[in-house]
Structure 1
């Protein structure tokens, strides 16, 4: 056989293989699209609630036209992204701490302001919106989907409206604290454990004997306890807020810093009296048997448990002292923000409250990967011997003596599919048939006020235009004047870089070298890159790589957002301060803003009307109109006049605005106190003008 014939034969064979792969992928795509529409319950799984939290009762929630069908909503609610909070069997049968009622009972779920659902095709066990079953390495877990934090509800006079992509009213901290207590009560009460074990085994799924149930309950209780300790904050988040970045940062540090770095931190830790915090012998005992490079969930839980242990040789630290250790190894997540609304996210140039994430190229996939790391993606990262791997190369570990293998439960393919689903989501229109008709004359007057006071930052877009582009306008924290905690933490929080010490990492102003103690934003960038570059370990070899290539290829080539310079008025990045532009907040289009209370990035203003008022300063007259300095959060009962939720007359979470992280100052354009982007200050709006502007804001 001649060389040319041999080459032709090989090329012919290769073309056949490529054709088969292409056909297989097309067929899989068609089947996948059809599968997404198998669950089309006309009520989208929603259920009525009688005498729920804060005395609320409502009929089965309705939906507004947002571009999604019943099947679209249900697929979004019930598609896993690879989150595993605890074993699925445990969540199904776990009892509440002080009764035999199930933890997942509608009344309990409603108390934490998650949205209860009835069983449907994709949700046969009737989990709440955004709670989902995920299977990883042969075991089933309950985890969160995007919808848990990004599906809202507005109640009005016994009616309820579900808002797809709207901000959740959820109290995640309350849920996780209560979950920990329920698991501890099950471990402590023999009768409770007997019922729990019998019910878990009766499911005939992942467990066959009580000892196996006991061991896993201990392990997962330790994991959730660890998470709650590492993320304890003196700032009470309450309802409708979460410091997601702070928690993602801590989860990354938990899996990155190595044993040597942890030892150094514990050795150098001092008490306020400058006395040594821990003796060398105590540190040795606490770290005995801990892995050198990767400290996983179980091992960090072991460290925390040993630090608090009263057995001989251990430090027996109080909770207060455990927080001292936490503060030395991690960062307090003390900057809770409102859950952002998701419509127009795929059409945005930059996302996150401080514009941290570019939406160009693979940006959405990296952003969503970081999010799943924060909401309980199972991170089976392992130390391995150096070899060429794309994940090691892209994450900067090519020349390391050891490398991190980024195996995890994170489902990259589904993350891409979920992002695609959001492209068709539209903002909700003001429902005049429920809240009352808009006044066209007031709307027009408000439109002119908006053009003068708001539009330079908050552009107008067509909510249904297929080619719409949402441009984020960034304003420096010094100029906009709102609470600085979230933006400052994103830049200033630091931690041990572990195996990523001295890697090179690109920034907009050039490459930087990651120090041993580095900004966590650098470490987060490295690990999300590594996870994105790692195919799904739960799939067979061929499908694993085909899915990975398809996901990355489509994420890049199917993305209409191109790399661009941020718009707005902010301090640019420099070689000395490569993340300075993140010390700013994003203004975005306000279509559907009526459905997204409370307001400002940290949820510190309860209604649109209050947002148009000034923050009361010490020398201001007492009889003026000002933003409330404290108010209640938790009710979904809507006020269509002021445009916000009811914030007095019930026992929800008291929002106190004098605490750092909760400040309600700034963004006082309508009050004539905050200058426009060009530096001019407009006169304060009159009372009549405020109502005109609100009428217009309802209409967009």
Structure 2
């Protein structure tokens, strides 16, 4: 049982989606095969990726097992399959799917999640399910979060439900039940504050997320308010700028990341920054406190971040290669498509200036990055507008890091949330060598400091200098990039990541080669795959949701299918050849 002194756990890692219907069906039983993703991607690596702790802390596991959904079923009765999560027979905790685990927090066994929950996908073709590690998940995360919210609220409001719940978690005496109620109420207050204000309607549905909004909501809305609650409801906004989960193979070498391209990337230090921000968005505990010194913050007070786990996950990401197309290819068509792909974009090509492999900006610990162009190709604008949000700075007011551009000036009482996040992430990383010791930074030390300094003090100083150099200007601020500009990724493995465009508004690659006005206005999102048109099949017999796409008149809706009209004038035989080449990448 939790004690009253235990900190409330909290959350975010979300996305919004404009959906008219959500269908939950029992997935058909199919043979599971794993896509070929390189010699380094072994079963051992895969199992590690599925269950490696990164510091996320959702809810005490005993509570989660005891809670009931509105239909009376338990959350683990189906291993979370109703939300699209994939079974993991090798899980150390039987019944938990891919991406979920248990971890100890304040001596309490706690439900946790790791990055594979959002970045492993399965696609179904002719009775075979193909597992693609690092691919964008086809899950309905909002329904899981909303169901937890309903279940805990029901327990607190219904005496019979609370009595059954208390017995299930071992609270037998009256005193134990009173303590349990206090603990549940303390946990529920921040969780419900976030869910009630941030979850949009219509719901997120299958396969999309507004992670940026929810990271902002979590840090500004639940973490930096004044103690003891730390909640600032005014800092929470609807997460209604939906995007597709990205694929993460080759992500460590991109010089820029996030769909709007606002985060520097490309080496282990920047990878750590990317992942610290992600954990703060997905249930990581972040409770910064003011020091006795003016405007000095203890960023890692009571923190749940698992630095060793985060760095291990980054190593695993480097091992995941793009998935190989598992079916037959027409070599002649591939060759013809190769020529088309490398044409100038005005002639229907894809590579030049957009999707080519080209050397990017050198980073402190890695001179060999991939260039990630950030440009406006007429696609939906809404996610970019999220970056301009402001919030009350709470306990971080007046804080700064003098040597880091962008956060070298004291935070105002109300400031850009992206600046608040940058300060939180960079402050947490710079404090970590003193808080956790140098051993947790061994991968970064090995990458950035090939000649090890002679003393621990010299090693710490050298590491801190590398951290300072790498983390400077971590996030671009709104207005420093062209408006409505998004990243252009290298296309390797693109066949396995439908639906397309950053907001998932186009179901197949074949549809993407059509003018926006001819793309489907409505389609189902689920696991069934069309390998001819390369993307989502029209019929989705298992878990699915219906995506209703807006036209170009509603470019800012979050759901517009507008933009990226490249290759639309190619002849039908050229489009067929280009698709065959894209399958081969």
User: How would you bin the TM-score normalised by the shorter chain?
Assistant: 0.7 to 0.9
Equivalent in the alignment of 2:104: 135
Point out where structure 2 has 5 or more consecutive residues left out of the alignment: 1-22, 344-348, 360-365, 451-462
1:394-417 C-alpha deviation (Å, 9 max, x unpaired):
xxxxx4287666431011111011
- CA distance in 2 between partners of 1:555 and 1:407 (Å): 29
Q: Which moved more, 1:497-506 or 1:451-460?
A: 497-506
C-alpha deviation, 1:64, in angstroms: 2.0
1:181 pairs with 2:150: yes
Q: Would you say the 8 A contact 2:249–2:317 is kept in 1?
A: yes
1:333 aligns with 2:239: yes
Q: Deviations over 1:299-347 (max 9, x none)?
A: 52xx7xxxxxxxxxxxxxxxxxxxxxx5x53333221111111110112
1:365 is the counterpart of 2:272: yes
Aligned equivalent of 1:459: 356
For residues 358 and 533 of structure 1, the distance between their equivalents in structure 2, rounded to whole angstroms, comes to 17
Task: Give 1:592's match in structure 2, choosing from 485, 488, 493.
Answer: 493
Pick closer, same or farther for the CA change 1:416–1:117 going to 2, 3 Å.
same
Residue pairs, 1:561-580, within 5 angstroms: 579-580=480-481
Of 88, 92, 103, 1:117 maps to 88
Compute the displacement of 1:548 (Å): 4.2
8 Å contact from structure 1 (residues 347, 468) kept in 2: no
d(CA) in 1 for partners of 2:331 and 2:34?
25
Aligned residue in 1 for 2:390? 494
Q: Is the 8 A contact 1:406 1:534 kept in 2?
A: no
Contact 1:344 1:470 in 2 (8 A): no
Residue 341 of structure 2 is aligned to residue 450 of structure 1: yes
Query: CA distance change for structure 1 residues 573 and 90 in 2, over 3 Å: closer, same or farther?
Result: closer
1:160 match: secondary structure: strand
Matches of 2:482 and 2:302, distance apart in 1: 33
Aligned counterparts of 1:183 and 1:565: Cα–Cα separation in 2:
42
Structure 2 vs 1, CA of residues 524 and 211 (structure 1 numbering), >3 Å: closer, same or farther? same
Alpha-carbon shift at residue 644 of structure 1 (Å) = 1.1
Residues 422/378 of structure 1: CA separation in 2 closer, same or farther (3 Å cut): same
Aligned mates of 2:305, 2:389 — CA distance in 1: 25
| Equivalence for 1:219 | 186
Among 503, 517, 520, the alignment partner of 1:602 is: 503
TM-score after normalising by structure 2: 0.81
C-alpha distance in structure 1 between counterparts of 2:400 and 2:102, whole Å: 38
Q: 1:563 to 1:138 in 2, by over 3 A?
A: closer
The 8 Å contact of residues 31 and 127 in structure 2, kept in 1 or not, is answered as no
So what's the TM-score if we normalise by structure 1?
0.68
Q: 1:510 to 1:153 in 2, by over 3 A?
A: closer
How far is the alpha carbon of 1:163 from its aligned partner? 0.8
**In structure 2, distance between residues paired with 1:151 and 1:573:** 29
CA shift in 2, pair 1:115/1:200, >3 Å: same
**Corresponding residue number in structure 2 for 1:106:** 78
What per-residue deviation string (whole Å, max 9, x for no partner) do you get for residues 460-486 of structure 1? 599xxxx99562432433xx1001111
Q: Deviations over 1:190-212 (max 9, x none)?
A: 4443333222229x9xx993333
Q: Secondary structure at the match of 1:547?
A: helix
2:536 equivalent in structure 1: 645
- Within a 5 Å distance, the mapping from 1:15-94 to structure 2 comes to 53-54=24-25, 56-67=27-38, 68-94=41-67
Higher gyration radius (CA): 1
CA contact (8 A) 2:256 2:372 kept: no
Aligned residues of 1:63 and 1:163 also touching (Cα < 8 A) = yes
Deviation at 1:77, TM superposition (A): 0.8
Q: 1:409 aligns with which of 295, 304, 307?
A: 304
Q: How does 1:319-398 map to 2 (within 5 A)?
A: 328-360=234-266, 362-386=269-293
Judge conservation of contact 1:173–1:238 (CA < 8 Å) in 2.
Answer: yes
Q: 1:422 aligns with which of 297, 308, 317?
A: 317
CA drift at 1:92: 2.5
Q: Is the 8 A contact 1:416 1:551 kept in 2?
A: yes
In the alignment, what sits opposite 1:197?
Answer: 166
Aligned to 2:11: none
TM-superposed CA distance for 1:502, in Å, is: 4.6
Cα displacement (A) at 1:557 = 4.2
Contact residue 461 and residue 468 of structure 1 kept, 8 A: no
CA distance in 1, matches of 2:476, 2:83: 40
Residues 616-669 of structure 1 show CA distances to partners (whole Å, capped at 9, x for unaligned) of 1xxxxxxxxx11112222x21111111112244668322122260111111111
Counterpart for residue 252 of structure 1: 219
Q: For 2:236 and 2:313, how far apart are their aligned partners in 1?
A: 31
What is the distance in 1 between the residues matched to 2:311 and 2:70? Answer: 38
Deviation at 1:88, TM superposition (A): 1.4
**1:82–1:409 CA contact under 8 A, matched in 2:** yes
Structure 1 counterpart of 2:512, from 604, 607, 611? 611
Q: 1:161 aligns with which of 105, 110, 130?
A: 130
Distance 2:368 2:139 in 1: 29
**Structure 1 counterpart of 2:382, from 460, 485, 489:** 485
Displacement of 1:114 in angstroms is: 1.3
1:498-537 equivalence runs, <5 A:
498-504=394-400, 514-535=411-432
CA distance in 2: counterparts of 1:607 and 1:208, whole angstroms: 58
RCO higher in structure (CA 8 A, sep ≥6)? 2
Give the total of aligned pairs: 524
Cα pair 1:61 1:159 within 8 Å, conserved = yes
Deviation, structure 1 residue 257: 5.1
Whether the aligned pair in 2 keeps the contact of 1:353 and 1:585 (CA below 8 Å) is: yes
Partner of 1:692: 577
Give the gaps of 5 or more residues in structure 1: 1-51, 259-293, 304-325, 387-398, 567-571, 617-625, 672-683
**Do the aligned partners of residues 403 and 442 (structure 1) sit closer, same or farther apart at CA in structure 2, a change above 3 Å counting?**
closer
2:406 and 2:412 map into 1 onto residues whose CA distance is 17
CA RMSD of aligned residues (A): 3.4
Cα distance, 1:529 vs structure 2: 1.5
